[in-house]
Amino acid sequence: MKVLLVGSGGREHALAWKLSKSKLCKHLYIAPGNPGTAQFGTNVGINDNDIEGLVKYAVEKKIDFVVVGPEDPLTLGLVDKLEEKGIKAFGPHKAAAALEGDKAFSKKMMQACSIPTADCQVFSDFNEAKAYIASRDSGVVVKASGLAKGKGVYVCSEPSDGILAAEKIMVDKIFGDAGDQILVEEKLIGQETSILAFVDGHTIYVMETSQDHKAIGEGDTGPNTGGMGAYSPAPVCTDKILSQIQREVLVPIVDGMNRNGSPYKGVLYAGIMITAGGPKVLEFNARFGDPETQPILMRLKSDLLEIMLAVVEERLDKITIEWDPRPAVCVVVSSGGYPGDYEKGKKITGIENAEALEDVKVFHAGTRFSADGELQTSGGRVLGVTACGKDIAAARERAYEAAAKIKFDGAYYRRDIGDKALK
Ligand code: AMP
Ligand code: GLY
């Protein structure tokens, strides 16, 4: 099969690596890809939100199967448009991707399906939002309803900070139309875990658990980022909690989406807070997580393309999926200054030395080749150094040994990835 993978992050490098290993994959194309994905196929210069360009390319190239990595093309209806042309694609349709793209809709679905989640009010008017937040006597979480590149959530310990957040989103419109509506939620306390499942509309297959580290600073301090590292499995999510999440979250939402006339197919990612009152949903994502995908796919032994085909063809119940029991840890190496301003174009060295270590893969995210072929930084999160080991401590040690071999001006990484799992 000719496969087209859409996206350009660390997640897509990991997906490209696994897809290229499939016995079904004759050639892999990646749009737009990165220097890491180029090791496994042909990078194509089409942006991941250029829906028309992607569909045209897939038709012309006679692509058999498209895998969509990021949320933007999913919410813009790429899968629907490809199917109209008779091309199979992995990922939810536009109406189902709204579980991520429209947080107000997502919350309504959770409430309609009695799924445990934070209490919430939705506002389209700033003054009403302001009055409501001012009436609260505890912390609040203020969220833009639409997509905001993972930056649209403000966790506020004081109502006054919540009002400032609502003003930035609704009045200053820092996320554009994505802030036409906001959600004001109760602030949940607990440990987070990411539960990713393959869903074919009916059957739900829960992957190995994981946890990411959103804050830039050690000890989860400082502003949130796209994710500074992740590990799998997440010991905080015990078998008992996992089966509770399946029963109380995954089954009801998949049923609810069917009743709503928008069946869910693809990867469903439930961001969960494990609170004293049990697991509660923070958000749904309509795709693989980044960086959770890197350690999860390090552990996947089965053919990823076969699994994805089974999802699209609604026969997930007919296949078996195997995992490496050994844990994996991913340490993200970022540009100095990220998630604030940072410089690009720094020369990167040491990746070969890092990958020379056993069970280590270095996934590219914000990298590029300069005109004369030098590997350089080109984004905030630059590389995801990922390692397996006999336990989390061993995987973590190997990942840090590898990360220390990578050099570029201003390189930064947290030194405490995985610590929570060891406690
Ligand atoms: P979201 O994109 O909705 O998952 O939010 C991003 C991050 O904000 C989550 O991973 C949590 O760390 C935090 N967050 C979101 N909603 C809440 C909430 N209701 N209570 C506490 N933290 C939250
Ligand atoms: N790691 C968080 C996300 O992918 O949204």
Burial pattern 291-307, b for ≥16 Cβ within 10 A else e, equals bbbbbbbbbbeebbbeb
Residue 129: predicted pLDDT: 96
Q: Is the pLDDT of residue 149 over 90?
A: no
State whether the beta carbon of 214 lies less than 6 angstroms from ligand 1. Answer: yes
Assigned domain for 170 exists:
yes
State whether the beta carbon of 187 lies less than 6 angstroms from ligand 1. Answer: yes
Closest CA to 162 of 202, 120, 191, 116: 120
Q: Are residues 340 and 412 in the same domain?
A: yes
Look up the CATH number of the domain holding residue 144. 3.30.1490
pLDDT in tens, 382-398: 999 999 999 999 999 99
Residue 223: predicted pLDDT: 86
Whose C-alpha lies nearest to ligand 1, atom 13?
155
Q: Are residues 165 and 195 in the same domain?
A: no
Question: How confident is the model over 210-223, as a mean pLDDT?
Answer: 93
Q: Are residues 87 and 10 in the same domain?
A: yes
Q: Are residues 341 and 409 in the same domain?
A: yes
Assigned domain for 305 exists:
yes
Residue 418: predicted pLDDT: 94
Helical H segments across 235-350, by residue range = 239-245, 251-259, 293-299, 304-312
Assigned domain for 230 exists:
yes
Q: Are residues 202 and 313 in the same domain?
A: yes
Q: Are residues 292 and 244 in the same domain?
A: yes
Assigned domain for 255 exists:
yes
- The domain boundary, picked from 141, 160, 180, lies at 180
Give the confidence band of 189 by pLDDT, cuts at 50, 70, 90.
very high
Q: Are residues 307 and 203 in the same domain?
A: yes
Q: Are residues 208 and 310 in the same domain?
A: yes
Share above pLDDT 90 across residues of the chain, in percent, rounded to a whole number: 96
CB 301, CB 322: distance < 8 Å: yes
CB 328, CB 362: distance < 8 Å: no
State whether the beta carbon of 283 lies less than 6 angstroms from ligand 2. Answer: no
Q: Is the dihedral of CA 181, 194, 363, 346 positive or negative?
A: positive
Strand-pairing partners, residue 43, are: 30
- For 219, the token pair is 């000890």
Distance 83 CA to ligand 1 centre (A): 33
pLDDT in tens, 217-259: 999 999 888 899 999 999 999 999 999 999 999 999 999 999 9
**Cα–Cα dist 272/299, whole Å:** 21
**Cα–Cα dist 97/266, whole Å:** 9
**Cα–Cα dist 48/189, whole Å:** 35
**Which atom of ligand 2 has the smallest separation from the CA of 291?**
1
Share above pLDDT 70 across residues of the chain, in percent, rounded to a whole number: 100
Ligand nearest to the CA of 193: 1
Look up the CATH number of the domain holding residue 231. 3.30.470.20
**Cα–Cα dist 305/89, whole Å:** 11
Q: What is the pTM of this model?
A: 0.97
Assigned domain for 118 exists:
no
Q: What type of residue is 390?
A: K
- For 167, the token pair is 């003003």
Q: How many distinct structural domains can be found in the chain?
A: 4
Q: Are residues 307 and 347 in the same domain?
A: no
Q: Is the dihedral of CA 9, 15, 17, 19 positive or negative?
A: negative
Assigned domain for 139 exists:
yes
State whether the beta carbon of 71 lies less than 6 angstroms from ligand 1. Answer: no
Burial of 107 (0-12, 13-18, 19+ CB in 10 A): buried
Look up the CATH number of the domain holding residue 78. 3.40.50.20
pLDDT in tens, 354-367: 999 999 999 999 99
Q: Are residues 232 and 266 in the same domain?
A: yes
Distance 289 CA to ligand 2 centre (A): 4
Q: Are residues 61 and 130 in the same domain?
A: no
State whether the beta carbon of 192 lies less than 6 angstroms from ligand 2. Answer: no
The per-residue DSSP string of 94-145 comes to: HHHHHHHH-HHHHHHHHHHTT--B--EEEES-HHHHHHHHHT--S-EEEEES
- The domain boundary, picked from 318, 348, 371, lies at 318
Residue 156: predicted pLDDT: 93
Distance 323 CA to ligand 1 centre (A): 29
- The domain boundary, picked from 180, 215, 244, lies at 180
Q: Is the pLDDT of residue 423 over 90?
A: no
Assigned domain for 101 exists:
no
Give the confidence band of 46 by pLDDT, cuts at 50, 70, 90.
very high
Residue 298: predicted pLDDT: 98
Please enumerate in sequence order all residues whose Cβ is within 8 A of that of 89, keeping only pairs 6 or more positions apart, or say none: 65, 66, 67, 68, 78, 79, 82, 83, 312
Look up the CATH number of the domain holding residue 418. 3.90.600.10
Q: Are residues 49 and 88 in the same domain?
A: yes
Assigned domain for 153 exists:
yes
Distance 346 CA to ligand 1 centre (A): 33
Domain that holds residue 340: 328-422
